[in-house]
Copies of this chain bind each other. A is one copy, B any other.
Amino acid sequence: MQTRDEVLDAALRCLNADPTASMAEVAAAIGIGRATLHRHFATREALVHEIAQRSLERWERGQAEVDMSGVAASGDAERIEACLRTMLAAFVQDAEDFAYALSDPCMLSQPDLAARMAELQELEVKFFRAAQEAGVVRRDVPAVWLSHTTYGLMIASREALQSGDVAAKGMADLVVSTFLDGAGAR
A residues 133-177 near B (Cβ < 8 Å) are 135-139, 141-142, 144-146, 148-149, 151-157, 159-160, 165-166, 174, 177
Question: When A148-B165, A152-B156 are in contact, do A105 and B184 touch as well, CB less than 8 Å?
Answer: no
Smallest CB–CB gap between A162 and chain B, Å? 10
Chain B contacts for A18, CB-based, 8 A? 105
CB–CB B151/A155 < 8 A: yes
CB–CB B166/A142 < 8 A: yes
Q: A2 within 8 Å of B by Cβ?
A: no
Smallest CB–CB gap between A113 and chain B, Å? 16
User: Count of chain A residues with Cβ under 8 Å from any Cβ of B?
Assistant: 39
Which of A20, A180, A182, A183 is the most central at the interface, judged by chain B CB atoms within 10 Å of its CB? A183
Number of copies: 2
Chain B contacts for A144, CB-based, 8 A? 160, 165-166
Chain B contacts for A155, CB-based, 8 A? 151-152, 155
Smallest CB–CB gap between A155 and chain B, Å? 5
Which residue of chain B has its CB nearest to the CB of A140? B177
CB–CB A165/B185 < 8 A: no
CB–CB B149/A105 < 8 A: no
Which of A103, A144, A182 is the most central at the interface, judged by chain B CB atoms within 10 Å of its CB? A182
Bound Cα distance A146, B183 (Å): 7
Q: A41 within 8 Å of B by Cβ?
A: no
Q: A39 within 8 Å of B by Cβ?
A: no
Which of A103, A141, A154, A156 is the most central at the interface, judged by chain B CB atoms within 10 Å of its CB? A156
10 closest cross-chain pairs (CB), A and B: A182-B182, A152-B156, A152-B152, A180-B184, A148-B156, A144-B165, A148-B160, A181-B182, A137-B183, A152-B155
